[in-house]
């Protein structure tokens, strides 16, 4: 077995094309497996107290996200969920999930809310429940009054494709896809 990077490259350059292609596929699978393992490592990631700061940074200037449209909000929440792990919040423990909610929030406003629910462990072994919530409010039109109130959970990265499909293709998300909200609320609070 070659010991140095240079020797490894020399050995690989001498492989027949079919073997090299097979090795390349194996390498891609190994990289994907290691990335998934890193995402599952609950010792890695940002500290739970830094979630709002990290999300704001990923969103860009407040002048942008204060007028964010539903499609963009969905994409930002999806990317943050996919790329940012929170220390101690394991998917296996349902400690890192996405929630979408929709419906009238007041007599004059309709809300779409994208929430990342985190349950970081406390020193006593119990968990806190924290929610990063990006809520878009729209004037309550007659068309929106017809939309039923609802919510849906997405429990891990394995369900991320369903989250994307749901928030981009299902009413009321698809109905409001290009609409600009009248206001946007961004919070990170203990939900207990």
User: Nearest-CA neighbor of 155 among 72, 98, 93?
Assistant: 98
Q: Helix (H, G, I), strand (E, B), or coil: what is residue 108?
A: coil
pLDDT of residue 76: 95
Q: What is the mean pLDDT of the chain?
A: 88
Percent of the chain with pLDDT over 70: 93
Mean pLDDT of 147-172: 93
Is the pLDDT higher at 31 or at 4? Answer: 4
pTM of the model: 0.76
pLDDT at 43: 66
State percent of the chain over pLDDT 90. Answer: 55
Residue 101: the pLDDT is 97
CA–CA distance, 165 with 180 (Å, rounded to integer)? 20
Task: Pick 128 or 98 by higher pLDDT.
Answer: 98
CA distance 137 to 104: 9
Position 53 pLDDT exceeds 50: yes
Residues with Cβ within 8 Å of 97's Cβ and at least 6 positions away in sequence, in order, are 116, 117, 153, 154, 155, 156
Helix (H, G, I), strand (E, B) or coil at 53: helix
71: pLDDT strictly greater than 50: yes
Mean pLDDT over 179-190 rounds to 95
Q: Which of 32-36, 130-134, 188-192 has the highest mean pLDDT?
A: 130-134
Distance CA 69, CA 177 (A): 7
- β 96-104/150-154 pair status: antiparallel
């Amino acid at each position: 077995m070659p010991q140095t990077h240079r020797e490894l490259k020399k050995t690989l350059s001498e492989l027949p094309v079919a073997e090299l292609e097979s090795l390349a596929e194996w390498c891609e699978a190994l990289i994907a497996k290691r990335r998934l393992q890193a995402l599952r490592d609950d010792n890695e990631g940002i500290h739970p107290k830094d979630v709002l700061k990290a999300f704001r940074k990923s969103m860009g200037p407040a002048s942008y996200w204060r007028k964010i449209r539903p499609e963009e909000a969905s994409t930002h929440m999806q990317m943050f969920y996919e790329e940012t792990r929170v220390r101690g919040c394991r998917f296996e423990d349902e400690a890192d999930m996405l929630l979408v909610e929709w419906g009238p929030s007041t007599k004059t406003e309709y809300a779409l809310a994208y929430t990342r629910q985190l349950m970081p462990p406390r020193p006593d072994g119990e968990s806190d429940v924290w929610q990063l919530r990006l809520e878009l409010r729209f004037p309550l039109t007659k068309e929106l009054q017809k939309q039923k109130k609802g919510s849906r959970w997405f429990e891990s990265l394995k369900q991320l494709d369903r989250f994307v499909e749901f928030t981009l293709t299902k009413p009321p998300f698809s109905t409001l896809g290009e609409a600009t909200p009248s206001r946007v609320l961004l919070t990170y609070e203990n939900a207990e």
